[in-house]
Amino acid sequence: MKLTKNTHACVRLEKDGRSLVIDPGAFTEQDAALGADVLLVTHEHPDHFDEGHLRAALDANPAAELWTLRSVAEQLTAAFPGRVRTVGHGDTFSAAGFEVQVHGELHAVIHPDIPRVTNVGYLVDGSVFHPGDALTVPDHPVETLLLPVMAPWNKISEVIDYVREVKPRRAYDVHDALLTDLARPIYDRQIGALGGTDHGRLAPGASAEL
């Protein structure tokens, strides 16, 4: 499987000529979702869910389908009947040759005064896990963890402990648009030294074979 990083929290997975895109949000390139056979969205926050990106992808490929939680699905179901699927924790499904398990229920706490929205993570082909905006630990071994490295709701000690708890074979940074170039070497060094796994970072547009 090929992993391609897009800006911030969005990634594309490709195998056997089919592609799956997770979380094409407002910080992500305009064409990040185009050509996808499967679209997954973890939650409704705009850095993960851009309605225009999803509509463009669904219009461009009439066979493409979107799998997401209810708050996002309700905004697109009427425009794309039969192509928008609602999922929640514990669900499993097959789409365009990808096997997906859904893990998690709530967004991480940003502040006690801010209500928590629903958030789900996706484990693709029993191997690659994107948790969205939560430190969800799936009840399944993870080979590749897409690690939300910098957000208003986390700190580096929590990120390191999350890597240690999941115990992936490797971790690649996502949710990194807010991380300055000045801070990146600090995060790379500390997560790499303390996380207990192979930690890497891909520039937007770069790819890795998993």
The reported pLDDT for the residue numbered 154 is 97
Tell me the pLDDT tens digit for each residue of 136-182: 999 999 999 999 999 999 999 999 999 999 999 999 999 999 999 99
Tell me the pLDDT tens digit for each residue of 41-72: 999 999 999 999 999 999 999 999 999 999 99
Give me the domains of the chain, ranges plus CATH numbers: 2-200 (3.60.15.10)
Contact status, residue 179 vs residue 151, Cβ threshold 8 Å: no
**Does the predicted TM-score (pTM) go above 0.85?**
yes
Average of per-residue pLDDT values in the chain: 97
